[in-house]
Structure 1
Amino acid sequence: MCRNIRTLYNFAPPATEDEVQAAAVQYVRKISGFTKPSQANEAAFARAVAAVTEASQQLLDELVTSAPPKDREVEADKARARAAIRYNVTTA
């Protein structure tokens, strides 16, 4: 799966419409192979993004969990720490 698509479920605050749409765009780009579709494919690309956005939002709305929501800043700090290890970056 595309690395740019991030988990959107069970965060405080919840994912915004823009985040859901951005994930949908990344997904459609990945499966179509286009970063920007041609004029001939633009309408189909836009319909696909809209459909994936709608399905993704419906999924997020219907999922249930007993786990407490994750904090976005804590998760971002963890991701930065993993990246520093992966890319052998030292912090000053």
Structure 2
Amino acid sequence: MCRNIHTLHNFEPAASSEEVQAAALQYVRKIAGTTKPSKANQEAFDRAVAEIAHATQHLLNDLVAVRPPKNREEEAAKARARAVASGRYAA
């Protein structure tokens, strides 16, 4: 799984269209094996990003949460703490 793709479901506030688009872009980049497609592949690349973003938004709209939404700031703070504790980043 690409490390730059984050969970988007069940957060308060809900995932923005920019976050959905960014996740779709990261997914397509991973699958295509490139961050910048050639001119010959640009149209297919852009279409794939748009279609995946569209499907992702539908998925997020249709999912039912059984737990209360998570707070984005609290989850980000936990992730930063885990990264520091793992030695990935200096404190």
State TM-score, norm by structure 1. 0.94
- For the aligned residue pairs, the C-alpha RMSD in angstroms reads 1.2
Q: 4+ residue stretches of structure 1 with deviation over 2 A?
A: 88-91
Cα deviation digits, residues 29-78 of structure 1 (max 9, x gap): 00000100010000000000001000000000000012000000100010
| Uncovered stretches (5+) of structure 2, i.e. residues with no partner | none
Identity percentage over the alignment? 60
Q: Matched residues in 2 for 1:17 and 1:84: separation?
A: 30
Q: Matched residues in 2 for 1:2 and 1:58: separation?
A: 21
Q: Which residue of 2 aligns with 1:6?
A: 6
Aligned length: 91
Q: Matched residues in 2 for 1:89 and 1:8: separation?
A: 24
1:30 alignment partner AA: K
| Uncovered stretches (5+) of structure 1, i.e. residues with no partner | none
Q: Which residue of 2 aligns with 1:23?
A: 23
